[in-house]
Structure 1
Amino acid sequence: MRPDVDDADRPRQPKAGDAVVALIAGLVCVLVCVASLFGNEAYATRTHDGLSGALADVVAYDSTLDAAALDGRLVHISARLMGEGNARPIVSDREFGIAVAGVHLHRTVEMYQWRETRHDHTYSEDGEEKKDVTYSYDEVWSETPIHSDSFDDRSYSNPTLWPYGSRKTTHPALHVEAYALSHAIVDLIATPTEPIRLDQRSLLQMESVFDLALHMPQAVDEIPALVDMYIDAESAFLSRPRKNEPRPHRNAIGDVRVSFAVTPAKRVSILAMPLHGTLVPYTSAGGVPIALVHDGLVPAETMLYHAKSSLRWKTMGWRGLGLALSCLGYYGVLQHYLHTTLFVPSAMGPLHLSVRPTNRLALALAMGWSTTWCTIALAWLWQGFWLLSLGLLWPVGILPVVLLLLSASRHKFASD
């Protein structure tokens, strides 16, 4: 395309510096859109093919067979999560006397801190608009440190050292039937967490778990954290008031609150590949890794259907994001060509496209739409979907720009 400047519109051109910045930023947006869309479509088509063909490869787990006989196959297993030796999987935090059956133990640490809020005010004075900025401060529980060094009022100060940190403890040897679970499979377990109660009965039960299951006796009265903390409302450990430091309120800045939750070890359904006694992701014929975990008893067909549905929604989300990024990029690029006429060569002769503020958005939308769908078509063509790419996606992508150019050209010829 070759721009031709319209002298009548020259005074309304944007500043050259702003136009160049918008041009460069717009081109970057378009290039990022093309690269990300192409990669995502290639991944989506390969993954969809792999999931579609996986159903024929699925083998149901049979406890009567030797475990090694299923090595390298895509196996569907539905059973309760257990520890080594078919024992209950115990996760613990000895510092706080927590020991429960589960997959993950989640420790959440919060500190009572100052939080700054900025307030912008606009008002008129002597007919002139002025702005005023004020700050307010309130006390909140926060899991992340709030850095008071950046506060406008330095008299509000938050501690920088935390006695404890949040963390997730995972059982190191989870099993399903005769197989151990690899880290990749354990990370897919998404059973909802359950809060851990800290009432006296629960604490005594956890004391028994330390003694009988873990063989590390620890009485409730000997929990290390209780030296500086107490149990609040049977739900969390809370900092004790310091001696000779009376508090004006129930909590003081720097107090720490620690609560716990567990990912329970329940029945799960797994699609994965046994390999030397361990379940790992299965690799399909197309090179697509397949590893699925669902709560409860779920058939293999349903698991694969949900996986394809999730993939479909993610792909649509990427397409929408790519379309928005592409349109935004072209909107910036067209700022450089405002108040010019672009000459587009074609088999019918040069087509004229005037770029004006009134049609800039429509042009950006049309060009963004075309770029998005043509990139998708190119990715599908690369994956071997010739008929669908050439017969549907290319026309859908090119049609808006062709119609826009033809319309602009007819308008130009009519005015001549």
Structure 2
Amino acid sequence: MSASNYPGGERREQHVKVASQAKPGFLERLGETTGGMVVGVGLFALSFYVLFTNEGRALRTASSLDEGLSLVVPLDSIHSVEPQNNGKLVHLSGPLQTFQPLYDPNYRISIHSVKLKREVEMYQWVEYQESRDYEENGERKTETTYTYNTEWKSEVINSRNFDKEIGHINPSAMAVESVTVVAPDVLVGRFSLSKGLVEKIDNFKKLSLVGLPPLDFFVTVHENYFYHTQNPRHPEVGDVRVSFSYAGLSGEGNYPGPAQVVSIVARQKDERLVPYQSKSGDVLEFLYLEDLSAQEVFEKEHQSNKLKTWALRVGGWLLMFLGISLTIRIFHTLVDWLPLVRDLVSLGLKLFALSVATSLSLVTIAAGWLFYRPLVASLLVALALVPIILARSKASPKKNQ
């Protein structure tokens, strides 16, 4: 066991534990590989679902956005409600407004904003593990290094799960709870925002506490935190600190800044802005925390759709690669007692999984596009066949030799 102290009251302790077990036999390793094969088959099947449905989702979203752009009506004024736009998809920009400030009575914080978040952290012991495996005297051993640090954490860490709880005991609960308060009514001009639009207002910024007097003898203000201790520079395990952040300033007063300007695309329902169901299938309800035209809003949504599409394509390919790798790993287990053959087989299996995953992913993506864009699908199928054609062309000269 080693221990050390750090500035700010942080402490660190460490100890090492070594566990030994007999080297697994061939049948045991084969059993573990069989379990991996079952997981691999599941990942392989899941990859097809992710890749195929992603293409349909991307095309549906793109069509819905094009439909919305062709129908959207920019409002001339946010301070009047025009009945002829009732039920239509509209676009507007303007500052956020709320009727009353959000208030935290425990710390006497008051601010005109859409959301006010109270974040509570407690000074606690945290356990970290780092393991390494090695073989010694015919046994497989695992050396685990346990490190204990004292840190500020927003969740309660159960010290009963520590390898060594003695000397590292954390409290079972916090004296103060974290909470987020949301304004009941949020408006832009005459229009009130739906719950979905309010949820998109998430640009939280930490509230400055500079200049605020201490609440009482046991609470100290230091570096934008309320510390439930008299000495915030040297906290003890169990001490609590509280900070506040806000999102969507509503513009009443100058503290801590001007009102947040937003741009919205949604359906006008009398004096409310609600989701719009497009004929293409997607629900259109957008809010951006800046002043944008309707064209700019839809351009950003198209860009977001492209990023999501490519992220799911990469994720689907990775699932397929992992699934194939786990499924064919049994061949590696069969020869793992021959070092040279084992390394060659391992490399071959990785190349095989890479090639098959790439080809099948492209074929699956092409299948998703087949109904909507047959020309693009044909090109993707042709591209998927390239690795196979190259492999056959390299194999033919070897046969001739």
The alignment's TM-score, normalised by the length of structure 1, stands at 0.75
Equivalence for 1:379: 368
Find 2:289's aligned residue among 292, 295, 304: 295
Equivalence for 2:235: 251
SS at match of 2:125: strand
Equivalence for 1:43: 57
Alpha-carbon distance change, 28 to 118 in structure 1, aligned in 2, over 3 angstroms: closer
For 1:82, give the aligned amino acid: Q
Number of positions where the alignment pairs a residue of Structure 1 with one of Structure 2:
355
Find 1:369's aligned residue among 329, 344, 358: 358
Equivalence for 1:96: 107
Q: Deviation of residue 236 (structure 1)?
A: 2.1
Alpha-carbon distance change, 297 to 133 in structure 1, aligned in 2, over 3 angstroms: closer
1:166 equivalent in alignment to 2:169:
no
1:326-345 equivalence runs, <5 A: 326-336=320-330
1:80 equivalent in alignment to 2:95:
yes
SS at match of 2:47: helix
Alpha-carbon distance change, 269 to 358 in structure 1, aligned in 2, over 3 angstroms: closer
Contact 2:207 2:245 in 1 (8 A): yes
Alpha-carbon distance change, 118 to 230 in structure 1, aligned in 2, over 3 angstroms: same
Task: Report which of the two structures shows the higher radius of gyration computed on alpha carbons.
Answer: 1
SS at match of 1:175: strand
SS at match of 2:97: coil
Structure 1 unaligned spans of 5+: 1-11, 204-220, 242-246, 341-354
SS at match of 1:117: strand
Alpha-carbon distance change, 31 to 406 in structure 1, aligned in 2, over 3 angstroms: farther
SS at match of 2:315: helix
1:397 equivalent in alignment to 2:391:
no
Equivalence for 1:17: 31
| Percent of residue pairs identical | 28
Q: Deviation of residue 122 (structure 1)?
A: 8.9
Equivalence for 2:6: none
Alpha-carbon distance change, 123 to 250 in structure 1, aligned in 2, over 3 angstroms: same
Partners of 1:198 and 1:170 in 2: CA distance: 24
For 2:312, give the aligned amino acid: W
SS at match of 2:287: strand
Equivalence for 1:147: 158
Q: Deviation of residue 192 (structure 1)?
A: 4.4
Say what the alpha-carbon RMSD is for the aligned residues. Answer: 3.5
Equivalence for 2:119: 108
Alpha-carbon distance change, 123 to 271 in structure 1, aligned in 2, over 3 angstroms: closer
Q: Kindly report structure 1 stretches of 4+ aligned residues shifted beyond 6 Å.
A: 12-15, 121-126, 128-131
Q: Deviations over 1:366-400 (max 9, x none)?
A: 11011111111111124x2222212x122122332
1:51-70 equivalence runs, <5 A: 51-63=65-77, 66-70=81-85
SS at match of 1:95: coil
SS at match of 2:201: coil
For 2:94, give the aligned amino acid: A
Partners of 1:19 and 1:412 in 2: CA distance: 34
Q: Deviation of residue 312 (structure 1)?
A: 0.8
Equivalence for 1:8: none
Partners of 1:112 and 1:357 in 2: CA distance: 47
1:187 equivalent in alignment to 2:191:
no
Alpha-carbon distance change, 249 to 17 in structure 1, aligned in 2, over 3 angstroms: same
The alignment's TM-score, normalised by the length of structure 2, stands at 0.78
Alpha-carbon distance change, 197 to 135 in structure 1, aligned in 2, over 3 angstroms: same
SS at match of 1:374: helix
